[in-house]
Amino acid sequence: MSMHQRRLDLKNGCVDLSHGAGGRAMAQLISGLFHEAFGNEWLARGNDQSAFDVAAGRMVMTTDGYVVSPLFFPGGNIGSLAVHGTVNDIAMAGARPLYLSASFIIEEGFRFADLRLIADAMGKAAREAGIAIITGDTKVVERGKADGVFISTAGVGVLPEGLDLSADKARPGDRVLLSGSLGDHGVAIMSKRQNLTFDTEIVSDSASLHGLVAAMVAAGGQGIRLMRDPTRGGLAATMNEIAQQSNLGFRLQEEAIPVKPAVAAACELLGLDPLHVANEGKLVAVVAPEAAAAVLAVMKAHPLGRDAADIGEAVADDHRFVQMATSFGGGRIVDWLSGEQLPRIC
Amino acid sequence: MKYADEFRDKELAVGLARAIRAKADPARAYRFMEFCGGHTHAIARYGLEDMLPDNVRMIHGPGCPVCVLPAGRIDMAIALAERPEIILCVYGDLMRVPGSRGSSLLRAKARGADIRMVYSTLDAIALAEQNPGREVVFFAIGFETTTPPTAVMIRAAEKKQLANFSVFCNHVLTPPAMRAILDSDTPIEIDGFVGPAHVSTVIGTEPYAPFARDDGKPVVIAGFEPLDMMQAILMLIEQVNDGRHEVENQYRRAVNGSGNQRAIREVAEIFELRDQFEWRGLGSIPASALKLRPAFAHLDAELRFAMAELVVADNPACECPAILRGLKKPVDCKLFGTACTPETPIGSCMVSSEGACAAHWTYGRFRDHQRRLAS
C-alpha cells in the first residue's frame, strides 16, 4: 500500500463501491478495519486463504448467514452474533471450535463507524471464545441492494475422541436439560424493531456455548445423546426436530421451563409463546437418565448455565408428539410455529 | 407476572375442576360454546379440556375475526395492494389467510405488492405521513374490540388532514353472529355460551340479553385467563342445573352492563351497518358488519379506489360451517390434518391459531391419539 494514501475516515466516512472493487480502497478497508479488529497471525500474512494444522481425529464444519435487523440490539450486534452463532453450531456437536471465516456483503453508504463497531464486536467475541477469524471476504453492493451489512461465516472445530452426538441415539426415559431462560434474544430484537419499540431491560442472551459444552461433555461423556441450540423457532421447533429425528415423543413440564418475567410480559403483550421465541445463548441436551444429574450440576456451576433445568423426558411415541404438562394442570402439544413469527432474527 | 399469574393459579384451578366435577350431572351432557377465539386459545394453551369431565364439552365458536374473513375480502385486498401507488397496512395474522386459488397477502407481498405489517393503527398514520407520494390503506379487521382503535385512527387522519390515507373496513359484530348460529336451519346442540371478554368491555352485557331471554340459552361473560374460563363453565353448569337462562358476568373486573359509552358513541358517529356481510363458514349475515358513514366516504378505500366486491365460495368439502355451529368436531372433517393444516389452511377454523381446528391441531391432537389407544 502506498504511504501517501489518505487514511480511512473511520469517524465520518462510509463505504462506497470502490471498497468492494478489488483496488486500493478495498485493501485499505480490509487492513485498516478488519485486520485491526480481528488481529491474528493468519490475516497478517494477507493471503487469499489461510493454512492451519489438521488435528488428529474428526473435524466438524458449519456455515451460517446473518441478516439480523436491527444490526445493533441490546446485548450485541450482528458481528458478535455471527461469531456466537457459528461457534455454537460447532459446539452442539460437542466439538471444540478452532477457526472461522467471515464474508461481508456491505451496502454502499454504510458508515465506517458502524462497520468498525461490528468488526470490533466480532474480534472481541472471537478472542473470548479462544478462536480466530482466519480468512474473509468483502463485497459492496449498490444502495438498496442489501440492508446495511450481511455476514456469512464458516467454522471448523475438532471433536473429542469417541464423541458422536446424534438425535438417533436418544432413548425413551432420557432427560431433557435446558441451559437457561427462553426468549431473551427474540424479545431483545423485537424491542428495537421499527413499529414495535418498547422499553425492556432484557438483553440478548447471545453467547458462545462451547465452554459450557466442554464441561458437560467432561461430566456426561457418552451419556449425552445430543445437543441443540434453540435459535429460530425457539425450543418448540428444536424439540420437534429432535422428535422427528429420534423417532420419539417428548413430555415437557411447563413449570420447569425458565422464562424471565420481562420476557413473559413482552410475549403476553405481543401474543407470542416464549417457546417459539429465538435464543442465541441457550442449549438443550438430551441426556441418559443415569448421567442427567451430573450433567445438570456442571451446567448450573457454569456462568452460562446458572438457570439450567431438567424440563422433561423422552417417551416412546410413534406420532413423535412433543407434549407439555401446563403449569395450570392440563396438557397440550408443543407444535412448530406456523409461518414466520418475526423475520430476520439472526 | 403480576395480574396474570393470579388468574393462572394451579391450586385454584384444581379446586374449580373439583367443583365442576361435583356439579356436573353425570346423567346429562353439557355443551357450551365459547364464542371468542381468545377463549379457544386459553382452552388449548392451558389444556383446560383435560380438567373437565367427559360430559362437559366445549364447542369452539366463530369469534376469531381473522378466521371468519371470507376469501373474497382477501382477494379484494390483494387486488388493491397490487396497485403500484398503494401501501397496504395489515395486522400480522392476516398475512397467511387464504384468498382464492392459493393466494394470500404473504404471497402477494413476495410478488412485489407493498404490504406492511403494523402493530397499531397509529403506525399506519405514521406511514401515511412518511410517504406523501403514496396511498396508504389500513386493512381494518376485528370485532367490537378493535373498532374503537380504527375510529381513533380515522379521527387522527381527519385532524392531520391526511390526503393519502384510507381504510378498507371489515369490522364485524358479535351479536348478529351469535344470532346466526342460533337461527341456523340445522338444529344446534348448545346448552349455553361463554360470552366474549374484550368485546364485552366495549359493548357491555346488555346486547346478550335476547339470547338468554328469547332463546333460553345461559350466557356467562368471561375473561380470557384460564381461571376465568373455569369459573364461567362452573357458572354455566349451575344455570343449566337450576333451569335458569340468564346473562351473568364473570368478568366483572373489566365488564359492566352498558359497556364503554365513549367508545360506543365514537364508533356510532363514524360507522354504520352494512345490509349484509359475508362470513367465512357462516355465509351472508344481515346487519353483521360496519362500513364508514357517508361523511367519511373520502376515507373509505372501497369507494376511493372503486374496489369491486368479490365473493368466493368456500371449499365444499370443508366442514367449518358445521364445526362453527357445534355440529361437528375438527376430526370429523376429512380435510382436517390432510389437505388442511396450519401451514395450508383451507377453512376458517384452521386459519388463525384461535380457530377451532388450528387450536385442536396445534394443542389438542394428541388426545385423539390417546383416546384411540384407550379404546
- Kindly state the average pLDDT of the residues B155-162: 95
CA A149, CA B152: separation in Å to the nearest integer?
38
CA B292, CA B296: separation in Å to the nearest integer?
6
* Nearest CA among B368, B366, B340 for reference residue B281: B340
b/e per residue, B336-354, with b = 16+ CB within 10 A?
Answer: bbebbbbeebbbbbbbbbb
Residue B96's SS3 state is coil
B108 φ, ψ (degrees, to nearest 5): -60, -40
* Nearest CA among B279, B48, B306 for reference residue B170: B279
CA A70, CA A49: separation in Å to the nearest integer?
31
* Nearest CA among B269, B257, B273, B270 for reference residue B201: B257
Whether B133 is in a domain gets the answer: yes
Whether B375 is in a domain gets the answer: no
b/e per residue, B223-252, with b = 16+ CB within 10 A?
Answer: bbbbbbbbbbbbbbbbbbeeeebebbbbbe
Interface test with A, best of B340, B365, B370, B373 (most A CBs within 10 A): B365
Whether B135 is in a domain gets the answer: yes
CATH label of the domain that carries residue B165:
3.40.50.11740
Calculate how close chain B gets to A273, using CA atoms only, in Å. 10
Q: Tell me the pLDDT of chain B averaged across its residues.
A: 92
- Kindly state the average pLDDT of the residues B195-213: 96
Question: What local confidence, expressed as pLDDT, does residue A200 receive?
Answer: 77
Residue B8's SS3 state is helix
Cβ distance B46 to A326 less than 8 Å, yes or no, reads: yes
- Kindly state the average pLDDT of the residues A152-158: 97
- Which secondary structure element, helix H or strand E, spans residue B137, and what is its range? strand B135-142
Residue B194's SS3 state is strand
Tracing cell 371468542 back to the chain, one arrives at: B36
User: Which CATH number is A17-158 given?
Assistant: 3.30.1330.10
CA A119, CA A123: separation in Å to the nearest integer?
6
Give how far Cα B297 sits from Cα of B135, B161, B343, Å.
Answer: 15, 14, 37
Q: Tell me the pLDDT of chain A averaged across its residues.
A: 93
Q: Is the pLDDT of residue B208 over 80?
A: yes
Whether B193 is in a domain gets the answer: yes
CA B248, CA A181: separation in Å to the nearest integer?
40
Rounded to a whole number of angstroms, the CA Rg of chain B reads 21
Which three cell numbers mark B248?
A: 351473568
Calculate how close chain A gets to B93, using CA atoms only, in Å. 10
Is B182 within 8 Å of B129 (Cβ atoms)?
no
Kindly list the domain boundaries of chain A, sorted by start residue.
17-158, 167-333
Q: Is the pLDDT of residue A1 over 60?
A: no
Question: What local confidence, expressed as pLDDT, does residue A22 receive?
Answer: 84
- Kindly state the average pLDDT of the residues B137-154: 95
Calculate how close chain B gets to A337, using CA atoms only, in Å. 9
- Kindly state the average pLDDT of the residues B245-253: 97
Whether B369 is in a domain gets the answer: no
Which three cell numbers mark B298?
A: 373520502
Whether B326 is in a domain gets the answer: yes
- Chain B residues closer than 8 Å to A268 by CB: 1, 4
Total domains present in chain B: 1
Question: What local confidence, expressed as pLDDT, does residue B336 receive?
Answer: 93
Residue A176's SS3 state is strand
A167-333 classified as CATH 3.90.650.10: yes
* Nearest CA among B171, B170, B172, B167 for reference residue B304: B167
Question: What local confidence, expressed as pLDDT, does residue A337 receive?
Answer: 81
* Nearest CA among A136, A55, A65 for reference residue A97: A55
Which residues from A are below 8 Å from B when comparing CB atoms? 195-196, 261, 264-265, 268, 270, 273, 319, 321, 323, 325-333, 335, 338-339
Whether B179 is in a domain gets the answer: yes
How many percent of chain B have pLDDT more than 70?
A: 100
Cβ distance B96 to A339 less than 8 Å, yes or no, reads: yes
Q: Name the closest residue on chain B to residue A267, using Cα atoms.
A: B1
Question: What local confidence, expressed as pLDDT, does residue A9 receive?
Answer: 86
> Which of A56-60, A265-269, B323-327 has the least mean pLDDT?
B323-327
Cβ distance B47 to A339 less than 8 Å, yes or no, reads: no
**Is this model's pTM higher than 0.95 or not?**
no
- Give bridge partners of residue A252 from the DSSP assignment: A312, A324
Is A38 within 8 Å of A79 (Cβ atoms)?
no
- Kindly state the average pLDDT of the residues B274-294: 95
Cβ distance A333 to B353 less than 8 Å, yes or no, reads: no
Cβ distance A330 to B50 less than 8 Å, yes or no, reads: yes
Of the two residues B41 and B215, the one the predictor is more confident about is: B215
**What is the DSSP secondary-structure string of A3-32?**
TTSPPP-TTT-B--GGGGTTSHHHHHHIII
CA A92, CA B54: separation in Å to the nearest integer?
45
Q: What type of residue sits at position B12?
A: L
B207 φ, ψ (degrees, to nearest 5): -60, -15
- Residue B272: how many CB atoms within 10 A of its CB? 14
- Give bridge partners of residue A100 from the DSSP assignment: A133, A155
Which three cell numbers mark B360?
A: 385442536
Whether B370 is in a domain gets the answer: no
Question: What local confidence, expressed as pLDDT, does residue B360 receive?
Answer: 85
pLDDT in tens, A85-118: 999 999 999 999 999 999 999 999 999 999 999 9
By DSSP bridging, strand B86-91 and strand B135-142 are parallel
Q: Name the closest residue on chain B to residue A273, using Cα atoms.
A: B45
Out of B44, B51, B123, the one facing A195 most closely (by C-beta) is B123
- Kindly state the average pLDDT of the residues B302-307: 97
CA B116, CA B105: separation in Å to the nearest integer?
10
Q: Would you put residue B276 in left (φ > 0), alpha (ψ -120 to 50) or beta?
A: beta
Out of B1, B50, B361, the one facing A331 most closely (by C-beta) is B50
Q: What are the start-end ranges of the H helices in chain B?
A: 10-23, 37-46, 65-68, 71-81, 105-110, 121-130, 147-159, 174-182, 198-203, 209-213, 226-242, 261-270, 301-304, 320-324, 348-351, 356-359, 365-374
Contacts of A338 (CB under 8 A, 6+ apart): B96, B342, B343, B353, B358, B362
Q: Is the pLDDT of residue A2 over 60?
A: no
Question: What local confidence, expressed as pLDDT, does residue A343 receive?
Answer: 67
DSSP label at residue A318 = T
Give how far Cα A216 sits from Cα of A131, A238, A246, B313, Å.
Answer: 20, 19, 21, 58
Domain that holds residue B345: 1-364
Q: Is the pLDDT of residue A7 over 70?
A: yes
